[in-house]
A = this chain, B = another copy of it.
Amino acid sequence: MSGSDFETLTRRLREATEWVSSGLGALSMLRESPSRLPELARYPLAAGGKRVRPFLVRTACLASGGDPARALGAAVAVEMVHTYSLVHDDLPMLDDDGLRRGLPTLHTLHGVPCSVLAGDLLLVEAFAELLLSPLPPQTLAAMAGRLARAAGPSRLAGGQYMDMNPPPSVDRLWVERMILGKTAAMIRVSLELGCMAAGRTPPGIDRVSSAGDRLGLLFQLTDDILDVRGTASELGKSPSKDSAQGKANLVTFAGLEAAEAEAASLSEEVADLFEALEGDWRDAVTLARFLPRRRS
Contacts and interface: CB of A to CB of B under 8 A. Distances in A.
A170 interface: no
Contacts of A38: 153
A157 B113 contact: no
A91 interface: yes
| Number of copies of chain A assembled together | 2
Contacts of A153: 29, 32-33, 35, 37-38, 41, 121, 125
A161 B114 contact: yes
Interface string A32-50: 1111111001000000000
A29 B124 CA distance: 18
A55 interface: no
A93 interface: yes
B154 A34 contact: yes
Contacts of A84: 120
Interface in A56-104: 84, 88, 91, 93-94
A197 to B, nearest CB: 14
Per DSSP, chain A at the interface is helix
Interface of A: 29, 32-38, 41, 84, 88, 91, 93-94, 111-114, 116-117, 119-121, 123-125, 127-128, 131-132, 137-138, 140-142, 144-145, 147-149, 151-154, 157-158, 160-162, 164-165, 177
Contact of A91 (B116, B138, B142): B116
Give the residue among A94, A114, A124 with the most B Cβ atoms within 10 A.
Answer: A124
Contacts of A127: 127, 144-145, 147-148
A124 B85 CA distance: 12
A112 B94 CA distance: 8
A155 to B, nearest CB: 9
A94 B119 CA distance: 14
Given A114-B164, A131-B148, A132-B145, A158 B37 contact: yes
27 contacts: A33-B158, A34-B177, A35-B161, A35-B165, A36-B165, A37-B153, A37-B158, A38-B153, A41-B153, A88-B116, A88-B117, A88-B120, A94-B112, A94-B113, A113-B164, A117-B157, A117-B160, A117-B161, A120-B157, A124-B148, A124-B152, A125-B152, A127-B144, A128-B149, A131-B145, A137-B142, A138-B141
